[in-house]
Structure 1
Amino acid sequence: MNERERGKEEAQEETRIGVFICDCGSNIAGHLDCAAVTEYAAKLPDVVCAKENLYTCSEAGIAEIQKAIKEHKLNRVLVASCSPRTHQPLFQSSCAEAGMNPYLFEMANIRDQCSWVHMQKREEATEKAKDLVRMGVAKAAFLEPQKDIEASLIPRVLVIGGGVGGLSAAESLAGMGLEVILVEKADQLGGLLNQLHQLAPDGDQAADRLSHLVDTVTSKSNVTIHVGSEVESVAGYIGNFEVAIRPKEGDALKEKVGCIVVAVGAVPLEPEGMYGYDGKTVITQAELEEQLKSGAFKASKVVMIQCVGARCPEREYCSRICCMTAVKNAMLIKGQNPEAKVHILYRDMQMYGTKKERMLWDARGLGVRFDVYEADKPPEVGEGTVKFEQPLIGETREIPYDLVVLSTPLVAREDAPLLSQLLRVPMDQNRFFMEAHAKLRPLDFATDGIFVCGSARYPATVEEARSQGVGVASRIATVLFKDKLITSAIVAEINPETCVGCQGCMEMCPYGAIVYVPEKEICEVNTILCKGCGCCAATCPSESALLKGFKPEQLLAQIRAM
C-alpha cells in the first residue's frame, strides 16, 4: 500500500483517539490534578485510550504511546504536556515509527498555558486543562493525513564576504567536501583583519593569522573565489538557489547553490565632527592600528576615549570589542615605550572572558591609567589637553596629550540594506542582520537555507567570527548532506477553482512563497518557501487559501468544544 492509499484509508476509517496526559514531574502535576484530567479525557467522544505518564517525552513514555497505537489501533493521538515547539517533532516521529501518519498527532499545552500561569489555583487550573484537552480532542477528530514535502538539494554553497567569518565558513565547508563559491566585494580577502596589527588577547600577528587562513582557503580545489565582485540577484529557495555574480568586468556569472552564507562584516565608524577628529592628532583605534603596524607611531602622551559614537541616541548598542582593542593598543604602546603616558577614559569597561579580564589587570600593572566619565558629561578635547570631570570626587582634570585616540564602534556596511532586500532577510534597527532566534537559532535566518556569521550580525572579535563561521558550516552540513530536502506538510494551499487572483495573499506573505500565474489568473503557493504562518488564509476574501492542519472545520471544532 502506497502513502496516498494509506492516507485515504486513514481518513475514512473510524476515528480512534488516544490521549496521554503528562505530569512533567511536578511542573504540571504539582499545580493541577492530572489524574482527574485523564479520567475526564477517557469519557470524551472518539477517545478509546487515556493514560497518565510521569514524563511522556521519556523513553518509557514514548514506548507507551507506540504500544497504545498498536494495541488500540489508534489513528489519532493527543498529548497534553508542554510546548509543541520543543516536543511536537519528537512525538510526531514516534507516532510515525508506530505506523500512524505523523500529521494525525495533536498537542495541548497544559504546562505553559495552564499549570505555570495558574500555580496557586489548582482547581481552576484543572478545569482549564480539561478545556484544553477537550478542544484538542475535537480538533484531532478532524485532522487529515499529510505527506512531507520533498525537494532536491544542490551540494554547493555561496559565501558572501571574504573576511574572517566568510573564510572560516569556506574553509570548513570545503573540508567537508562541499563546493564553495566565495564572493568578496573588495580586491583582496581578509576584511578588517588587513588593517589590524596584533590580535587580543593572545598577541598573535594579524598578518600571520590572515595569511594562513587565506592560503588554506585558496589551496582548496573545491573553492571558487571571486574578488572585486558582488551578488547581483538571488532567486529560489533552500536547496535550490539561483544567483548572479557581477564581476568588475565582463558579464554576470550564473550559479546554482543549495545554501547561502552572509558574512559581509562591518566597518569602523568614522567620527566626523566628534572630539575634534582630524586624522592627525585626533585619530581612531583603526588608524592607531595602522601606525603601530607600519612603525609610524611616535607619540608619548596618549589619551583614549571610549564609546565615541556608541551608546548614544544615534547608536544605542555597545560594540563590545572597542574596550579590548583600546587595552590591547595601550599595552602595545607601553611595551614599545615604558615611559609613555597612556590614559583610557571610559564609561564602562566591557572586558568579558577570563583572558580579557587578565588583560585589563595586566594593563594596570604596566601603568595604563583608567578614569571613568559620565555619559552626560563627556570629555572635552582642547589644544594639547583633554578635560574631563571625575564623577566620584566632582573635580575637573586636564590631561596633556600629543595624540588622542577615539574608540568608535563597528557599524553595518552602507550596502547591507540592499543585500537584505536581495535575500529577503531582516535587519535590526542598527542595520545588522537579524538571526532567527538569538538563543535557539543564532546563525540562521528565518528564511531557510540562508545563514549569517561574523560582524554582519553584530560586532565580533576575530575568534568569535571564526567560531561562527565554523558553526555556520555545521548548520549547512545538516541540510546539504541529506539525500533530499524534507519539509513539513503544514503549509498553505490555494484552491484554483475559487481563487480570483486578487493577489491579496501575496502582499501578506512574509516569505514570498506565493506567486501570481498570469496564464491561469490565479495565485499558487511554493510549498518549499511556505512556513505555514497562515497570513494568506486569514486574508483571502474568497476563502480559497487554506492552511493544512488549521482548516476552518478544525479550528471551529475547537471553538465549539468550548
Structure 2
Amino acid sequence: MELGEPDSSGRKKPVPIKGSEFVINVDIVIPSIGQASDLSWLQTKATKWGTIEVDSETLATSIDGVFAGGDAVSGPAFVVDAIKAGHVAAKSISRYLRGMDLKQGRENKKAGVVKDVPLDGISKIARQRMAEMDVQKRIAGHAEVALGFTEEQARLEAQRCLSCGICSECYECEQVCQAKAVDHTQTSLLEEILVGGIVLAPGVETISPEVREEYGYGYYPNVVTSLEFERYLSASGPTTGHIQRPSDNKEPKKVAWIQCVGSRDEERKYCSSVCCMYATKEAIIAKEHAHGLEPTIFFMDIRAFGKGFDSYYERAKNEYGVRYIRCMVSTVKENPNTHNLMMRYVAENGKLVEEEFDMVVLSVGLKPSPSTQELANRLGVNLNQYGFCTTDTLTPINTSNPGIFVCGASSEPKDIPETVMQASGAAACIGELLGDVRGSEIIRKEYPTETDVCGQDARIGVFVCRCGINIAGVVDVPLVAEYAASLSNVVCVEEKIYVCSQDSQAMIKEKICEHNLNRVVVASCTPRTHERLFQDTIAEAGLNKYLFEMANIRDQCSWVHQNSPQAATEKAKELVRMAVGRAALLEPLYATKMDVTRNALVIGGGLSGMVSAISLAKQGFSVEIVECEAQLGGNLKHLHLMLDGSNIQEYLNQLIEEVKNHSLIKIHLASDVVAISGHVGHFESTVRGLQSTVEIKHGVVIVATGGVESKPVEYLYGQDERVITQRELEEKLVNSHSAFRIPHSIVMIQCVGSRDEQRPYCSRVCCSQAIKNALKLKELNPDTAVYILYRDIRTYGFREEYYYKAREAGVVFIRYDVDRKPEVRGQGSESEKLKVKSEKLGDRSQGAGVRGQMEVDVFDPILGTNVVLSADMVILAPAIVSHPGNERLSPLLKVTLNANRFFLEAHMKLRPVDFASDGMFLCGLAHSPKDISESIIQAKAVAGRAATVLAKDKLEVSGVVSKIDQNKCVACLTCIRMCPYSVPFINNKGAAEIEPAKCQGCGICASECPAKAIELMHYKDTQVVAKVEAMFIRI
C-alpha cells in the first residue's frame, strides 16, 4: 500500500501498489475494521469527524440535559478515557439535576509531563518477559494467554520505576480516599510570615547501602538494612514482629550486623554516632523474639558513650549472648541453593575467617536530607563538607546566620536524647530573641459556660470510629455501634470513618447539644494521642472535659486480633460496655490555678549553670545562682583548648563577666542550699553562705552541680611524678610559665577507673581529650613518640576527623582488653618481652629500655604478644565521677540518683533534662559525663524547659490528683513510703496530706492505703469497680 491523493478532508488515503498483489492460503479471515457513530437519531451538533460535539469540561451536548462521552465523543480511544468520561458525565448530571453550576470548581489542570528524567547513576535493566500460555493450549479454549508475573518478577519490574512522580490525573486516589483528604483542585499557596527567629530541623536520612557493593544489598534478598530489620521487629511491620528472612520467610538462626556502612570511610569520615547502639538494641530485641537466634555484630569500635549505654552493651554480651567481633568484613557472598550468606573477614589476630549466616543486617549511617542544601541556600546558612549545618563548638545551636538556629541531627549525627535536648535548647535561643514580646500575639481560646450536670441522670453519647480500615478492616464496627445503642444510659450512637477528623468533631458538638448529652464515650484508638483532642471538643460544647471516656478498640482489638475478626468484635463490644459503665459515674473535675514565682534557682556556678542562667535572664526572668566554691567556673577553670582550637579560658572569662554584670542574675558564692520546700511554680529554699543565710522564693530549680575528675589508684599515679592525668598535661602544655619540656616519648592510657565493675560507664570525653593533647604534642614537637592505649576509640560525630589527623600525625594506637590491662614500671627493666622496634611501630621506640625511663607493658592483640613501650611520661584518662554534693542534695530535693550517683532524669529519651518532679531540671555533668558543647546544649535545654513554667501567669494543676479523707487516715505512713515523688506528709493534725500541685496522679497511694482513706479523682473506687463489673456482666 501507499498513500494516494488527498481526499476532501485533506487526508491522504492508502491505495494498493500496482503489481504488488499475492495470494495466501488461510482457513479464517478476520477483517480489521474501523468504527463510526450513528448519530442520525440524535439532533445534536457533531464534529467534522462525525463525533458528538461536547463541552470539554462538563461533556454537555448542544441539547439541554444531554451529556456524552467515550468513543462517541473522542473517536477510538482507550478504556481509561471512557471510564473517566463516565465519571465526568455522572458529576455533570448530578449537578444538573440539583440545579447547580456545571462548571464551578471543575477546572482541572493536567500535570505537566516531565520530558527529561535525570539518568545519572541509574543502570538500564531490561523489562521482565511475562510468561504466556503454550500455543496448543491457547487454541483449545479462551483462557488468558498472558500468565502474569511471578512475585520475584513483579518486584524486579517495579524496581525499574524511575519514580519521576508524574500524576496521570486518573482521580482514582480521590475516589477511594475515605477521609476525602485528596483534593486535585488545590494549588500552591505562597504565604509570607513575619517571624523573630527560625529553627532548622530538616533531619537526616540513612545512607544508601549500595555504597558498599561488596555486601550484596539489592542482589541478595537476605541482606537488609538496619532500618528494614527494625521494621521486621515491629508489631506493625510486614511480619507483625516475627523475624523472617525475605528469601523464604523462614526464621533465621544466625544473623550478622555489619557496622559503619556509609560512614567512617574516605567519603564520609565522620561517625554516625547511633549505629553501635541501635545494632545492639536490634540484636537484643531479635534475641527476645527468637530465643534460639545467634546474633553477631562486626565492628571497629563500640561507641557506647551515652548515659547507660555501656551497661546496655555489657548486658548484650553477658546476658543475651550477643557476639561482638572486631574487624571489617571484606565481602558477603550468597549460596544460591540455600540463600545463606558467606562472610569473609580478617579477625583481630590476623587470621582469615569464613562464616555462614542466614541473614545480614547493614548498619547504615546518617547523612543530611537532599533538601537541606536548598534550604540552606535560601536562608544563607553555611554547611560543612558533608552537608550538615555548620556550628561553632561554643555556640552549638547557632548557625552562621544570626537569628537562625539548628537542632537535631541536621547539625551532627546524634541520638534521640541529644536531639530532644538540642530542640529545647533551640527554643531557649528563640526565647532569648523574643523575650520582650512574649505572648503579645497569642489569642487565648475561649470556652462556653460549662453546663451543670450535677443531679442529672447519665445521658451518654457513644461515637465509634472506623479509622479507615485500621479498625473496620477487622472489627465489625456497625455491629459494635448497634450493641452500644442497647446499653443503659446510652441515648446517642454514631459511627464515623474518622472520629478525630474536623467534621466529626463538629458532629460530636452538635450531638451533645441535640441530645443533651452529659457524658461522652469514644471507641477508637489510644487515649495517649487522642484523649486531649476529644476532651477539648466536649469542652467547646459546654461539658466538663473530665466527663469523657475512651475505649481503645484499635490497639486492643483490631491490632492484636487481626486474624480473629469475630473475637476482635466481641472484645470491642466488651470494651465499649466497660467504658459506658465507668462514664455513667464520672464527675466534673476542675484544675487548680496558682500564681508563678518568676524566679529561677540554679544550683551550681559552672559552665552549665552559668549558660542556663544567662539564657533565662535574656528571656526576661530573674535568676539566682548558688555556687559552693568561692568563684564561678567549675571544671572549666582547668580546661584551655577545644579539639578545634577554640580558646576555653577566653570564653569562660566572657561568660563570667556576662553573668556578673546582668541585672537579673544574683550570685551566691561559697554557699549551699540547705532546705527546700514547695512545688512547681512556688518553691522556697534556704541558702547558707559563709556570712549569712537567705531565703529564696523561686518557680523552678535547675541542678547543675557538675562532676569531678577521679583520682587514679593504679599505674603509679601519685607515686611517680611522671604519671599525670590528661587535664594536668593540658595545664602544662598551655602554661607559658611552666618549665615543662616536651618529652621524647609519651604513653597515654585510656579508661582509667571507668568501664569497669566499679564504674560501668564511659566518661565520654577521654578519647577526644587524649587525641587533642596528642595533636598538641605533635604540633609542638613532631618527633615526640605518642602512644595511646585504648579499649575503644570513641570519637563520635565529627570528632572522628581528629582521630584521622592523629593517625596521620604519627600517633600510634594500641588496643588493650580490660582483662589484660597495661602494666607501668617506674624504671628500665631487663624483661625479655618484645621491645618496640621501628619496623613494628613506625620508628617510635625512642631508645627503649634506657635507664631512667618508665616502661609500659601491654598485650597487642594484633601482634599477638606483649610489647614494652619506653616512656618519659605516662598520661592517664581518669573517670569523670559525680559531684560528692549529690548525695546530700538528692534527699533535699526529693529526686533520685542512679547507680553511678548521677542525677536520674524523668525519661531518658523524652524528658532528658526534667526530673520526675515538676519544675525541677538538670544539666551538665550532674546528668552524666559530656563535653563542653554538649553541656552548653543541655544548659540551653533546661533554660527552654524552665521557661515553659516561668512564662505562665498561672499554673493549672490537673484535677486528677489524690485526696485524703482526714477522718479515715490513721497516719500509718504507708502513702509516705510508697509515693515515688515524696508528696504525702503528716500535717499538724496528725493525718496525711497531699499537696495537689505536687501530686502526679499515679494513684499508688490510693491503691496501697490500708484504711481506704485515699481516692484518686477520676479513678474513684466506684468508677473503677463499675468498669470491672461491666467486664464480667455476661459471666
| TM-score interval (norm. to shorter) | over 0.9
Specify which of 977, 994, 1000 is matched with residue 531 of structure 1.
1000
Secondary structure of residue in 2 paired with 1:74? coil
Secondary structure of residue in 2 paired with 1:10? coil
Q: 1:443 to 1:29 in 2, by over 3 A?
A: farther
Aligned to 2:932: 462
Tell me whether 1:432 sits opposite 2:432 in the alignment. Answer: no
Aligned equivalents of 1:56 and 1:409: distance in 2? 55
Tell me whether 1:408 sits opposite 2:841 in the alignment. Answer: no
Secondary structure of residue in 2 paired with 1:468? helix
Aligned equivalents of 2:471 and 2:902: distance in 1? 40
* Uncovered stretches (5+) of structure 2, i.e. residues with no partner: 1-446, 827-853
Aligned to 1:246: 688
Aligned equivalents of 2:756 and 2:471: distance in 1? 45
Residues 481-527 of structure 1 deviation map (CA, whole Å, 9 limit, x = unaligned)? 11111010101111233334444333323323223233x34332211
Aligned to 1:225: 667
Secondary structure of residue in 1 paired with 2:914? coil
Letter of the aligned partner of 1:452 in structure 2?
L
Please report how far the alpha carbon of residue 41 of structure 1 lies from its aligned counterpart in structure 2 after TM superposition: 2.9
Q: 1:87 to 1:208 in 2, by over 3 A?
A: farther
Tell me whether 1:377 sits opposite 2:846 in the alignment. Answer: no
1:205-354 aligned at under 5 Å gives the runs 205-248=647-690, 250-274=691-715, 276=717, 278=719, 280-295=721-736, 296=738, 297=740, 298-353=742-797
Aligned to 1:552: 1021
Aligned equivalents of 2:810 and 2:466: distance in 1? 61
Q: 1:173 to 1:506 in 2, by over 3 A?
A: same
Q: 1:327 to 1:83 in 2, by over 3 A?
A: farther
Please report how far the alpha carbon of residue 433 of structure 1 lies from its aligned counterpart in structure 2 after TM superposition: 0.6
**Mean Cα displacement is larger for which, 227-236 or 131-140?**
131-140
Secondary structure of residue in 2 paired with 1:306? strand
Please report how far the alpha carbon of residue 88 of structure 1 lies from its aligned counterpart in structure 2 after TM superposition: 2.5
1:58-77 aligned at under 5 Å gives the runs 58-77=501-520
Letter of the aligned partner of 2:537 in structure 1?
S
**2:717 touches 2:724 (CA, 8 Å); kept in 1?**
no
**2:600 touches 2:621 (CA, 8 Å); kept in 1?**
yes
Q: 1:68 to 1:322 in 2, by over 3 A?
A: farther
Please report how far the alpha carbon of residue 25 of structure 1 lies from its aligned counterpart in structure 2 after TM superposition: 5.5
Aligned equivalents of 1:179 and 1:268: distance in 2? 32
Residues 235-292 of structure 1 deviation map (CA, whole Å, 9 limit, x = unaligned)? 11111111011112x2211111111100111111211234655462222112122222
Q: 1:274 to 1:10 in 2, by over 3 A?
A: farther
Letter of the aligned partner of 2:963 in structure 1?
E
Specify which of 351, 358, 361 is matched with residue 804 of structure 2.
361
Q: 1:403 to 1:110 in 2, by over 3 A?
A: farther
Aligned to 1:164: 607
**2:450 touches 2:543 (CA, 8 Å); kept in 1?**
no
Aligned equivalents of 2:1003 and 2:803: distance in 1? 52
Letter of the aligned partner of 1:132 in structure 2?
L
Aligned equivalents of 1:556 and 1:195: distance in 2? 62
Q: 1:204 to 1:133 in 2, by over 3 A?
A: same
**Mean Cα displacement is larger for which, 382-391 or 106-115?**
106-115
Please report how far the alpha carbon of residue 61 of structure 1 lies from its aligned counterpart in structure 2 after TM superposition: 4.6
Aligned to 1:488: 958
| TM-score, L = length of structure 2 | 0.51
Please report how far the alpha carbon of residue 82 of structure 1 lies from its aligned counterpart in structure 2 after TM superposition: 3.8
Aligned equivalents of 1:415 and 1:251: distance in 2? 20
Compute the RMSD of aligned alpha carbons: 2.3
Secondary structure of residue in 1 paired with 2:764? coil
Q: 1:327 to 1:56 in 2, by over 3 A?
A: farther
Aligned equivalents of 2:890 and 2:1012: distance in 1? 32
**Mean Cα displacement is larger for which, 115-124 or 332-341?**
115-124
Relative to its length, the structure with more strand (as a share) is 1
Aligned to 1:152: 595
Q: 1:357 to 1:106 in 2, by over 3 A?
A: same
Please report how far the alpha carbon of residue 52 of structure 1 lies from its aligned counterpart in structure 2 after TM superposition: 4.3
Secondary structure of residue in 2 paired with 1:362? helix
Aligned to 1:386: 856
**1:492 touches 1:525 (CA, 8 Å); kept in 2?**
yes
Aligned equivalents of 1:497 and 1:173: distance in 2? 45
**1:327 touches 1:359 (CA, 8 Å); kept in 2?**
yes
Please report how far the alpha carbon of residue 136 of structure 1 lies from its aligned counterpart in structure 2 after TM superposition: 1.6
**1:92 touches 1:103 (CA, 8 Å); kept in 2?**
yes
Please report how far the alpha carbon of residue 45 of structure 1 lies from its aligned counterpart in structure 2 after TM superposition: 2.4
Aligned to 1:142: 585
Please report how far the alpha carbon of residue 182 of structure 1 lies from its aligned counterpart in structure 2 after TM superposition: 0.5
- Structure with larger Rg: 2
- Total equivalences in the alignment: 554
Q: 1:432 to 1:28 in 2, by over 3 A?
A: farther
Please report how far the alpha carbon of residue 425 of structure 1 lies from its aligned counterpart in structure 2 after TM superposition: 0.6
Aligned to 2:621: 178
Aligned to 1:561: 1030
Residues 134-175 of structure 1 deviation map (CA, whole Å, 9 limit, x = unaligned)? 212211111100111111111000000111111111001100
Aligned equivalents of 1:301 and 1:131: distance in 2? 77
Tell me whether 1:449 sits opposite 2:891 in the alignment. Answer: no
* Uncovered stretches (5+) of structure 1, i.e. residues with no partner: none
Please report how far the alpha carbon of residue 29 of structure 1 lies from its aligned counterpart in structure 2 after TM superposition: 4.7
Secondary structure of residue in 2 paired with 1:533? coil
Aligned equivalents of 1:91 and 1:222: distance in 2? 42
1:95-110 aligned at under 5 Å gives the runs 95-110=538-553
Specify which of 514, 521, 543 is matched with residue 984 of structure 2.
514
* More relative contact order, 1 or 2 (CA 8 Å, 6+ apart): 1
Q: 1:206 to 1:54 in 2, by over 3 A?
A: farther
Secondary structure of residue in 2 paired with 1:123? helix
